[in-house]
């Protein structure tokens, strides 16, 4: 989806050749921001609607221009040792009882979906209580970690609220995963 543009050269550009400033941010946060702007726009006049939607679109474009982490760093899993142990155990199951591989795949798919569902349940139930909302700066703008401090500082006075929001999200995801696991 592209943003409206008054530039005739950009209007005649072939699909897929858009510049990054023309492409709309379709991440969950970008879509949520656009949806909330449209919901608020339904309560406003028509002239205010256009300016509000344009403001949200320009804010999502600015977030898309933020510096990106290198590909190798994004692909390196945080729990590499856990992944290695899991692959080794899966290989042992494949050798000892290959008929169980389908059951393992089925259960791990359901538990992964339960974790994903728990995450979104937390976001839907507590839309204004997201843990990253209590950080001093938006985490997308911070270039890197420091050696002697936290990667992302929590806003002053909100340390306990931030911790409770993180714990709440973990508990909701845990309950969804356990509920799905017990339901199998």
Say whether both 46 and 107 belong to one domain. Answer: no
pLDDT on residue 60: 57
Is residue 140 situated within a structural domain? yes
Q: What are phi and psi of 135, to 5 degrees?
A: -80, 150
Q: What pLDDT is stored for residue 3 in this prediction?
A: 44
Q: Structurally, how many domains does the chain consist of?
A: 2
pLDDT for 120: 92
Same domain, 174 and 130: yes
Domain-ending residue, one of 22, 42, 64: 64
> Same domain, yes or no, for 162 and 112?
yes
In order, the DSSP letters of 112-173 are HHHHHHHHHHHHHH-TT--GGGGBSS-TTT-----SSS-SSPBPTT-HHHHHHHHHHHHHHH
In a domain, 55, yes or no: yes
Instruction: Check whether residue 162 and residue 102 sit in a common domain.
Output: yes
On whether residue 111 sits in a domain, the answer given is: yes
In this structure, are 110 and 38 located in the same domain? no
Q: What is the pLDDT along the chain (184 residues), one digit of tens a residue?
A: 444 444 444 444 444 444 444 455 667 777 777 777 766 666 665 555 456 556 655 665 555 555 566 666 666 677 777 788 889 999 999 999 999 999 988 888 998 999 999 999 999 998 888 888 888 776 666 666 555 666 678 888 888 998 999 999 999 999 999 998 888 6
d(CA 119, CA 169): 7
Are 108 and 178 contained in the same domain? Answer: yes
pLDDT at 124: 92
Q: Which domain holds residue 129?
A: 98-183
- The reply to whether 90 falls in a domain is no
Query: Is residue 177 included in any domain, yes or no?
Result: yes
> Residue 86: inside a domain, yes or no?
no
In a domain, 72, yes or no: no
Tell me: do 169 and 115 sit in the same domain: yes
Q: Answer yes or no: is 19 within a domain.
A: yes
């Amino acid at each position: 989806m592209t943003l409206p543009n008054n530039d005739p050269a950009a209007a005649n550009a072939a699909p897929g050749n858009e510049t990054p400033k023309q492409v709309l941010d379709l991440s969950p946060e970008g879509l949520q921001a656009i949806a909330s702007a449209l919901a608020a726009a339904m309560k406003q006049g028509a002239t205010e609607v256009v300016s509000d939607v344009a403001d949200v679109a320009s804010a999502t474009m600015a977030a898309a221009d933020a510096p990106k982490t290198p590909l190798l760093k994004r692909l390196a899993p945080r729990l590499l040792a856990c992944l290695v142990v899991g692959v080794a155990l899966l290989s042992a199951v494949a050798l000892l009882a290959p008929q169980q591989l389908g059951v393992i795949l089925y259960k791990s798919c359901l538990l992964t979906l339960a974790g994903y569902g728990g995450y979104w349940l937390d976001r839907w139930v507590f839309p204004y209580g997201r843990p990253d909302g209590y950080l001093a700066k938006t985490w997308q703008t911070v270039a890197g970690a420091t050696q002697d401090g936290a990667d992302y500082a929590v806003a002053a006075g909100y340390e306990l609220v931030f911790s409770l929001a993180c714990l709440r999200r973990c508990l909701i995801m845990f309950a969804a995963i356990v509920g799905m696991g017990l339901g199998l």
